[in-house]
Amino acid sequence: MIRSFYIAAKDLKAEFRTKQMLNSMFIFSLLVLVVFSVSFGDFLGDAEKVEKLAPGVLWIAFTFAGMLGLSRTFVMETENGCLEALMLCPVDRGAIYTGKILSNLAIVFLMEAVTLPFFIILFNYSLGIGTLFLLLLIFFLGTFGFIAVGTLLSALTLGTRTRELLLPVLLLPVLLPVLIPAVEATAGVLAGNSIGNLVPEIRLLAVYDLVFFVISHLVFEYVVSD
Amino acid sequence: MENAVSIRELSKVFGKTPVLKALDLDLRKGEFAVIFGPNGAGKTTLLKLISTLIEPTAGSVFVSGFNITEEPEKVRKEIGMLSHDSYLYGDLTAKENLHFFGKMYGIDGQELEKRILQLLKEVGLVTKADERVSTFSRGMKQRLSIARALLHRPSLLLLDEPYTGLDPGASLVFENLLKSPEFQGSTKLMVSHDLERGFALCNRLLILDKGKFVYDGFKTNFSGFQEFREKCGSMLA
Ligand SMILES: Nc1ncnc2c1ncn2[C@@H]1O[C@H](COP(=O)(O)OP(=O)(O)OP(=O)(O)O)[C@@H](O)[C@H]1O
Ligand SMILES: [Mg+2]
């Protein structure tokens, strides 16, 4: 288990040195928010309409920015045959998968946290500190499911020539069960609901996260060995 | 004494193409075997099977008594692999690369620090320890990947054409490390296209062709490289 952390720490060290993935994801998600906020300019005074639109816009930004990052996560490993080197280490394949999840989760979640203030400004929200934490919790749960599946599919599409195209096409349908509750929960939080009112969505997200983590963990071994 | 490597009836089929056909091979501890053979003979495939990177279609492989399909993690601990790929992260420094892999092999703390310094000295990269690998020249990368492969003191070294691209300096470093007391006792299985060098280093010669060993014998069977080339050259054509 500790070796998963070593893998994640290594990834994060490399990522923070270049910030390639982080920067491109952040700029992408920011652009999506700006485009939507400009094109919905007229509505922004109307709180009711904003409430209906904004959560979806936010998750569109996160999902596509996240995919941008995911399609790169194993590229670093394949550059000098490093994935092979990892598979030669005395750890089981599951530990490699968990390590990758941890680093992807950290990077994508960070991107989301940095995007949040811009979202609040662009869509004219004023949120209390409690609401912010609740929002981050929802982000985390939604992102975990996204990363659990995305990391697996990213490994799966590794050997294909069209990986950048294939990944979103495969990933989006599988993600619907996590995106829908994530958007609903986000809308709930932004509308001022307390955690008590969001239990069904949170429970759904947690279950999805768990199920996909376990399944992907088991399947990963067959994905990386040919 | 138990063999370092013990292969029985090993077969590998990719799709419908049989690549290895019921191979048998025993390597005693400390033996240095070199495999020659034409392109596509299955040499790399054999090394990948032994190192648990791919699974056999049929047959069994034991490394230091551990079955590769049943106890792959124990097998991996025994193995040091040097291949065409450098197995290094370009965005990390030389030291960080060795640190990471050291920890993955369960070495830690003072011991790891000492080991890294020792290896960096041996491959002549101490002054470059804190530079990013992506800024390294090819030769420097290769020196570092030698250090990486030997980090955890493997008892079995799998070397897949280690000389391709090695400059004379790095080749010398490599040969000296193989001959050093530390690795004298370790078993080595090397794939090479460089007949003369391979012959000079090894004590056992294997020729693989179309997934079968067509020759298996000891260097002492020959008076010298010339005789080996005269007798076995035709099998490599
Ligand atoms: N992953 C794979 N999928 C399908 N076929 C493969 C795979 N790996 C190797 N092969 C096939 O197996 C055969 C043997 O390949 P291998 O790489 O073991 O040869 P080699 O002896 O190492 O050759 P070389 O001297 O060129 O390195 C080749 O015909 C190759 O096309
Ligand atoms: Mg080969």
DSSP assignment of B162-193, as one string?
Answer: TTTT--HHHHHHHHHHHHSHHHHTSEEEEE-S
Q: Is B211 in the pocket of ligand 1 (CB under 6 A)?
A: no
CA A62 – CA A30 distance, rounded (Å) = 9
Query: Given a cut of 90, is residue A135 above it in pLDDT?
Result: yes
pLDDT at res. A155:
86
* Angle, vertex CA A102, rays to CA A99 and CA A106, nearest 5: 145
Asked whether B202 and B30 are in contact (CB, 8 A), the reply is no
Closest in B53, B103, B148 to A84, CB measured? B53
Q: Specify burial of residue A153 (Cβ count, 10 A radius: 0-12, 13-18, 19+).
A: buried
pLDDT of residue B19 exceeding 90? yes
C-alpha A27 – ligand 2 centre gap (Å): 43
Whether the pLDDT of residue B1 is over 70: the answer is no
Per CB-CB distance under 8 Å, the chain B contacts of A13 are 91-92, 96
Residues B127 and B94: beta-carbon distance below 8 Å: no
Q: Grade residue A134 by pLDDT with cuts at 50, 70 and 90.
A: very high
CA distance B18 to B11: 8
R_g over Cα of chain A: 18
Q: Is the pLDDT of residue A209 over 80?
A: yes
- What pLDDT, on a 0 to 100 scale, did the predictor assign at position B169? 83
A81 and B85 within 8 Å at the Cβ level: the answer is: yes
Taking the CA atoms of residue B160, residue B165, residue B168 and residue B171 in that order, the dihedral angle to the nearest 10 degrees is -20
Task: Report pLDDT for B212.
Answer: 94
Contact between residue B191 and residue B38 where contact means Cβ atoms under 8 Å apart = no
User: In the structure, what pLDDT confidence band is assigned to residue A226 with cuts at 50, 70 and 90?
Assistant: low
Kindly report the backbone phi and psi dihedral angles of residue B111, in degrees, each rounded to the nearest multiple of 5, phi listed first.
-60, -45
pLDDT range class, residue A3, cuts 50, 70, 90 = very high
Q: Chain A contact for B105, CB < 8 A?
A: yes
Per-residue model confidence as pLDDT tens digits over A146-172: 999 999 988 888 877 777 788 888 899
Share of chain B above pLDDT 70, in %: 99
Query: What is the three-class DSSP state of B214?
Result: strand
CB distance B110 to ligand 1 below 6 Å: no
Q: What is the mean pLDDT of residues B115-129?
A: 94
Number of domains forming the structure of chain A: 1
Angstrom distance (rounded) from CA B159 to CA B82 = 5
A161 touches chain B (CB under 8 A): no
Q: Do B79 and A88 touch (CB under 8 A)?
A: yes
Q: Is A199 helix (H, G, I), strand (E, B) or coil?
A: helix
**Whether A88 and B53 lie within 8 Å, measured CB to CB:** yes
pTM of the complete model: 0.91
Q: What is the pLDDT of residues B184-236, one digit of tens each?
A: 889 999 999 989 999 999 999 999 999 999 999 999 888 888 888 888 888 87
**CATH for B5-85+156-236?**
3.40.50.300
CA distance A90 to chain B (A): 4
Q: Assess whether pLDDT exceeds 90 at residue A143.
A: yes
Give start and end residues of each alpha helix (H) in B109-224. Answer: 109-122, 138-150, 168-179, 181-184, 195-201
Residue with tokens 């048998």: B24
Range of the domain at A149: 2-224
- The pairing of beta strand B32-36 with beta strand B204-209: parallel
Nearest to B54 among A3, A7, A225 (CB): A225
pLDDT for residue B5 is more than 80: yes
Tell how strand B156-160 and strand B187-191 pair up.
parallel
Q: Which of A7, A80, A88 sits opposite B81 (nearest CB)?
A: A88
